[in-house]
């Protein structure tokens, strides 16, 4: 059986899915037509119901719960791993309503967390996550919400952290930060959904068993990233929650839904 599968080219996702899509594990007769896209594209596709299985932001998951079911494996949740609000220099965060803010997508969890912290900030510009640092440096925006590997590179570019939005979430709610999850179409047979969940878990088990070695699938899709940054990325975003959401992960997601 062939299924369409979407995830990002970021190291955490390629690390999780490498063994699955490249048949390093027994895929139980399943094959995957993969699409590697930035998270906001995947979010838009999820709203359209385009793919059978897809990574998406938890910020958009709540809008597609009628169509998609959340899997236990493959998610990105954690502590100390949230989006950061950055600027070229110190600015007065009490006047956030006066600034133009770059966000990586209207439906991203990053935007949801930013909006929770700064509900008055309405002047937003949608910019692909990998371009936000440069948009801040060039002065196109006053500040930006960064995600993924930008968390490890912004200081090297002379940018200034205004707020750790994940830390704000943790301190105000006490919960882990739900960033993104893996969902599957609800109308697929129950045994297919359970098998795919188990295969993602097996794929991640395989990846952890060979870590810190990085498969070519990871390095090929992160060509401009140093291997040490790739490992930082994986270490931060791939964890026990990625293997299984568990009760703690599900409670964090439920709390985030209240913020929508």
Check residue 105 and give its pLDDT.
Answer: 87
Q: Model confidence at 107, in pLDDT bands (50, 70, 90)?
A: confident
**Whether the predicted pLDDT of 45 surpasses 80:** yes
Check residue 152 and give its pLDDT.
Answer: 84
Distance in angstroms (rounded) separating the CA atoms of residues 177 and 236: 12
Check residue 126 and give its pLDDT.
Answer: 94
Distance in angstroms (rounded) separating the CA atoms of residues 250 and 159: 34
Q: What percent of the chain has pLDDT over 90?
A: 86
Distance in angstroms (rounded) separating the CA atoms of residues 79 and 173: 12
Q: Does domain 84-173 correspond to CATH entry 3.40.190.10?
A: yes
Most distant CA pair in the chain, distance? 56
Distance in angstroms (rounded) separating the CA atoms of residues 215 and 234: 12
pLDDT in tens, 51-72: 999 999 998 999 999 999 999 9
Among candidate residues 19, 143, 4, the one with its CA nearest the CA of residue 73 = 19
Residues recognised as catalytic: 148
**Whether the predicted pLDDT of 224 surpasses 80:** no
Check residue 209 and give its pLDDT.
Answer: 98
Q: Model confidence at 242, in pLDDT bands (50, 70, 90)?
A: very high
Q: Annotated binding residue at 55? A: yes
Q: Annotated binding residue at 8? A: no
Overall average pLDDT of the 248-257 stretch: 96
Q: Annotated binding residue at 56? A: yes
Check residue 42 and give its pLDDT.
Answer: 96
Query: Within a 13 Å sphere around the CA of 180, how many CA atoms are in the beta-carbon half?
Result: 28
**Whether the predicted pLDDT of 160 surpasses 90:** yes
Check residue 108 and give its pLDDT.
Answer: 87
**Whether the predicted pLDDT of 9 surpasses 90:** yes
Residues of the chain with CATH 3.40.190.10: 2-77+178-259, 84-173
**Whether the predicted pLDDT of 140 surpasses 80:** yes
Overall average pLDDT of the 74-93 stretch: 94
Q: Are 140 and 168 in contact (CB under 8 A)?
A: no
Check residue 151 and give its pLDDT.
Answer: 84
Q: SS3 sequence, 155-224?
A: HHHCCEEEEEHHHHHHHHHCCCEEEEEEEEECCCCHHHHHHHHHHHHHHHHHHHHHCCCCCHHHHHCCCC
**Whether the predicted pLDDT of 163 surpasses 90:** yes
Overall average pLDDT of the 141-145 stretch: 97
Among candidate residues 38, 52, 43, 42, the one with its CA nearest the CA of residue 10 = 38
Check residue 41 and give its pLDDT.
Answer: 93
**Whether the predicted pLDDT of 223 surpasses 80:** no
Q: What is the dihedral of CA 130, 135, 141, 143, to 10 degrees?
A: 60
Check residue 215 and give its pLDDT.
Answer: 96
Which residues sit opposite 33 in a β-bridge? Answer: 4
CA distance to 36, 60, 63, per residue, from 67 (Å): 21, 12, 9
Check residue 96 and give its pLDDT.
Answer: 94
**Whether the predicted pLDDT of 239 surpasses 80:** yes
Check residue 210 and give its pLDDT.
Answer: 97
Angular region, 25: left φ>0, alpha ψ -120 to 50, beta rest: beta
Check residue 259 and give its pLDDT.
Answer: 84
Tokens 């993924």 correspond to what residue? 148
To the nearest whole number, what is the mean pLDDT of the chain? 94
* R_g (Cα) of the chain, nearest Å: 18
26: phi then psi, degrees, rounded to nearest 5: -70, 115
Q: Annotated binding residue at 214? A: no
Classify domain 2-77+178-259 at the CATH superfamily level: Periplasmic binding protein-like II (3.40.190.10)
């Amino acid at each position: 059986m062939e299924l369409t599968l979407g995830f990002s080219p970021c190291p955490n996702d390629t690390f999780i899915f490498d063994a699955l899509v490249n048949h390093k594990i027994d895929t139980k007769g399943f094959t995957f037509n993969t699409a590697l896209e930035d998270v906001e594209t995947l979010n838009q596709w999820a709203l359209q119901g385009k793919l059978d299985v897809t990574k998406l932001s938890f910020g958009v998951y709540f809008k597609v719960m009628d169509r998609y079911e959340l899997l236990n494996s493959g998610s990105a949740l954690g502590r100390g791993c949230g989006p950061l609000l950055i600027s070229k220099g110190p600015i007065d965060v009490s006047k956030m309503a006066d600034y133009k803010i770059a966000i990586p997508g209207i439906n991203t969890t990053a935007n949801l967390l930013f909006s929770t912290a700064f509900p008055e900030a309405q002047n937003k510009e949608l910019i692909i996550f990998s371009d936000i640092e440069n948009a801040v440096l060039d002065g196109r925006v006053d500040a930006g919400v960064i995600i993924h590997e930008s968390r490890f590179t912004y200081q090297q570019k002379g940018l200034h952290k205004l707020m750790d939005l994940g830390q704000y979430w943790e301190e105000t709610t006490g919960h882990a930060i739900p960033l993104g999850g893996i969902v599957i179409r609800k109308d697929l047979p129950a045994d297919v959904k359970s098998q795919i969940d188990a295969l993602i878990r097996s794929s991640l088990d395989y990846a952890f068993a060979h870590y810190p070695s990085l498969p070519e699938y990871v390095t090929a899709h992160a060509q401009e990233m140093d291997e040490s940054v790739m490992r930082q990325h994986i270490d931060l975003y791939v964890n026990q929650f990625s293997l299984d959401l568990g009760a703690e992960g599900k409670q964090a997601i439920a709390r985030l839904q209240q913020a929508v």
